[in-house]
Each structure stands twice: as structure tokens, then as C-alpha cells.
Structure 1
Amino acid sequence: MKIFYGLLLCFPLLANAASTPVTPDSLQASIAKNGAASTISSLNEKDFGKLNEGIANAAPDWLALVPKLAPAMEGGNADAIVEAMARGLAKNPAAVLNSVSTPEMSGWTGRDALCSMPFPDDDETSLTRYYRQTEPALKKLGKPVASCLNQLDQAFAELRNNAQSRQKYSLNRKTLTPALLWQALDKDGVEKVASTLSTKQHQFIGESISQGDREWLLIADTLAPASNPQTHAMLLTSLASALTVNPGETLKAAEGHFDTELLCAMPFPEASNKTLTGYYQKTRTALLKIRRRGEACLKVLDDEYATMLKSASGQ
């Protein structure tokens, strides 16, 4: 009877714990007191979502939980934490890989899948975008992560080969897509692709980039080294247009390809002063939102607008 009564007393405590959002500290305390298996069994769907979100963002306090929780997870929860850690590779590969290098993780079965794009529900475009973000992050770390980088490259090569076997790409289609361009770029390289794009295709790509979508900005970053003058001019104006809607990622895509003094100086020679004024106001507002990251561009933009006003007034 005493045991039964004790269990009844525990139920309110468990209910209160379930209603409180989990944090790294609360999970660490639970693991220390009850063990990993018991802690995992007490988590609900929302708790697991919070845990996986923190790991996917490569937050150090959430990653610190991985060696303690991952080995005790099974089934769908085990797969989900592998996916979350793989998402974190693009953001902080060193921290993610360090979390699986501890003694507790020596027998962890998810290690082999971690670097192989373990996202069964992602389409080809999403997987390609993931590779484009993660591969450079791993390359920066050099030899210590060579094995992981090799696995990632192999997984992407398999994805690319499967895609090409299913559908032979053609840049003569009516509508270009990022996936189609990635296939062409991977097979033929930047210079050949840029040289084969028609005027209409250049225009379509430029309009797509100007919308500030991350996938198209990655395309812009990849095409930027091309020596083709039409491609270079298209990228300059489309990236300048994208500053209005997604300044942070646009500046990142343009970095190393276009000088700030050129990109942020309203490079639209055929635009009227009225159009340029509207562009200036929208872009200035967007740059102010990203604060220090946009300061250099904002200064160039302000100077160019002041020059335009001075010229318009005849001074």
C-alpha cells in the first residue's frame, strides 16, 4: 500500500515536469538523477522537438547532451537525433563531431550515418542545398574531419548519379530550376554553363536571384566566378536587388565576388531617380535591420544616394 501511495504522489510531479519546457539544464539534472533511459521515456513529442532543434542548431549546451542521451535512444528517436546532428554539421561541424568522439559514443550506431546526408524525406533540391552548405564548413577544418567529408562527398555523388540516371538534364527547357542548374554545374562546370545560357535564361536567373531566396543566392555564389560578361552583369544587378529583401544572405553570397563599393552603389544605370529613391529607401531599411553586418554597405548606399541628389539639384 505504501508503494502504491508513493506512486500516486509521483504522478502530479510527472505532470508538472511534462508541462514545463525542457532545457539543457533540466535534462542534465534528470539524467544525473534518473539516468538517460528514464529521462528519454519521460519526454513527450514537444520535448523531443525542442531537443532536436537545439542539436540541429549546434548549440553547445544541447550538444553536450548527445553523449549521454544518444546511446540510449532507439527507433525513430534514434533516427531523429542523427538527423538533427547532421543538420548541425553546416553550422558548427567541430562541435558536432566532438560530441560523437567521447568514450560514451564509441559504440553509437548512428556514427556511420551522420555524415551521409541521413534525410530520407528530403528531396533532391534540399539535399543539394544541404551539401552546398555543409561541404565548405567541413573543408575549413581540414584533416581532422577528412573521413566525414569523404562520406558526405560520396553521398552527394550517389545522389547526383541517381538523379542523372533518372533524368537527363537540359538547359534548353522553358523553366530553369535550382536543381537543374546544380546538375549542369556539377557536370560541366561554371564557365561552360555560363557561356551556354541564353539572354532569356540570364534574365530568368537574375529575376529569381533578385527575390532573395536562399537557394538562388547559392546559385549566384556558384556562378559568380564565371568570366562571362553577361553573367557577371546579371549577377551584380540581381544581387543588388536582393539586398532589399534579404540583405544578410545576399552580402554573404556576394562576398569575395563583388566589391561593396560596387554592389551597394545602386548599380542600375538605366533607372530613373524616382525608381532609385524607392530602391534606396527599401534597401536602407533592410540594411538597418541587420545592424553591423550591413554598415559598410549602408555607408556606400547613403553616399551614392547623396551624390544622386546633389547631381539632380545641379550642384
Structure 2
Amino acid sequence: MTEPQNSAAPAAFRGIWPALLTPLDADLSIDHAKFAAHCKSLIARGCPGVTPFGTTGEGPSFSMAERKEAIDQLIHNGVPASQIMVSTSCAALPETLELTRHAVNAGVHGCLMLPPFFLKGVSDQGIIDSYRYVIDGMGSDLPKLKLYLYHIPQVTGVPLSHHVIATLKKLYPQTILGIKDSACTTAHSVGLAEAFMKDLTLNMTVYVGFEPDLPELGRRGSTGAISGLANFMPRVVNRLVTEPDAPATPAERERIIQLLGLLEGYSLMPALKGIMAMLTGDEAWLRVRAPLVALTPEQFKAVKTTISAFGIDSKSD
């Protein structure tokens, strides 16, 4: 294993990097042209970058070959590599390492990484060792890696404790720049902010995936987010975290809470794809990979009715 790094870490990302929905062709392969167009549309609406293959993007449902090809195609189709953050999370560590090395050598901004998520009840030391396997495995490419730890225990069943985060940050201060907390618990996110953002010498940023918590974290120094709702509401999501005390923020936060409430009766990723299908007029967005199940025609009709009444304005949202 490598020796602990000693010098200060570079700056973490700022702004909203949407957790991209992944468009699919009729055979459920990735629609590369549509994927790139979606990325470029979001960047044109003010997003500094985009994040493919996270939870919202059904990342673990795609093979290593598919994910590498998708990143290559995004870059080939005009999405700047420096404006891409790749979720390289896999259950198998060698695959996580391979995807991470590929992303770094493609020139992306950084990588978002879950702990291995197949085995449950693993120890903190096992989680630390898992991240060390990937980070140390980067070899001479390690100085190019910017890594964001990804905590979403309700999905993975493998939480990241403060001890794990602090140990990895101490070992790799130049590499680990932040934490994405998608536990959707305000107290947990605030606890991470208190532990890792108060001490400015740590150079560590906590980002939340649960949009209603963005103002609270913005007040504590968070500078952005990786957000699923930002696929179609990037501006309002950005304002929640960058303007937490603006006069309009409470109303915009309540609007986000209302939207999430409207989607509670659906599986979230198919519902988000339903909103994309409605807003673009392209029902191909409805397609998902198993084990997810696409909205039925009746469900899609209901989503269209509900979201039309709610109202999403592409100019302000």
C-alpha cells in the first residue's frame, strides 16, 4: 500500500452536477447521442458538470464495457471530460479499480465511489481496506484522482462511519475531496458537516443528495450537489444550496418537497424518467433496466397529469 499523502488537497467541485438519468434504446442499450445531448443541455443551463452512473443513473445495472464506452462516447460527442464526474461503483473491487482508472485517464473531473455493496455487516476496517485497494491500485495515476465518497446506506446496506471517512481522509488528503451523503437524514448530514467542514484545514466538502436539505448544508459551507431532480430543475436546485437565505428559498424548498411528495407512490427512478419523457415529449425516456420496472401507460398518464398541474418551467427551474 502507498504511504499517506502529506500535502493539501485540491479544490472540490462547486455547483450542481446532475445525477444523470440514463437514456436507453429499444434494446435497452445506452442511447449515446441522447445521453450527450442531455449533458450538453444541462451544462448550457448553468451546470458546471454532470455525473453519470450513480444511483439515479442505474449505474450498477450496466457492465464495465458499457460504462467505459458511454464515457468515451460522451467525450467524443462534445461533453468536456473535465465536466464529467463518473460514479465508478461496483460490487467487485477490481471492476471499481478498472472503471476508476479508465475515468481518470479519460481526463474526468473526479470519481464518485460507494463501498462494495454485496456483503452486509462488514467492519469499518473492511470498508477502509476496500477503498485502499482501489486508491492504492491507481499506482502512477493516483495524483490525477479526485475522489468523492458516497454514502447511501438505505440502498447499499453498507454505511460510511465517521471513523472510515476520517481514516481515509488522513491517509489520502490530496485524493479524497468530499462526501456525498444521500442518507436523506438531516441530522446525519449536519453531523458530517460538523465533523468534516468546520475544520477548514481538512479541505473536505459535504454534499447532500436530498434536495430539501440543501439550504441547511449551504449555510454550513456546502458548495453544490449531485442531484437527481437537477435533470430537469437544475437552477432551483442550485439556488437552494448557493442562496440558502435568499427571500425566495423557503418557498422553493417547499416546492421541492411538494414534488417529492407527488412522486412517493412510484419507484423514484422510473418516475423521474417519466418526468423527462413528459418534458421532452420523448417516451423513450421511460425505459429502464431490470430490476427496475418502467411506468405503465396508466402510471405515465397519471404522472403527466400530476406534473403538468405542478408545473416545471425550463427557464427558471
Task: With the length of structure 2 as denominator, give the TM-score of the two structures.
Answer: 0.30
Greater length-normalized contact order (CA 8 Å, ≥ 6 residues apart): 2
Task: With the length of structure 1 as denominator, give the TM-score of the two structures.
Answer: 0.30
Higher share of residues assigned strand: 2
Larger Rg: 1
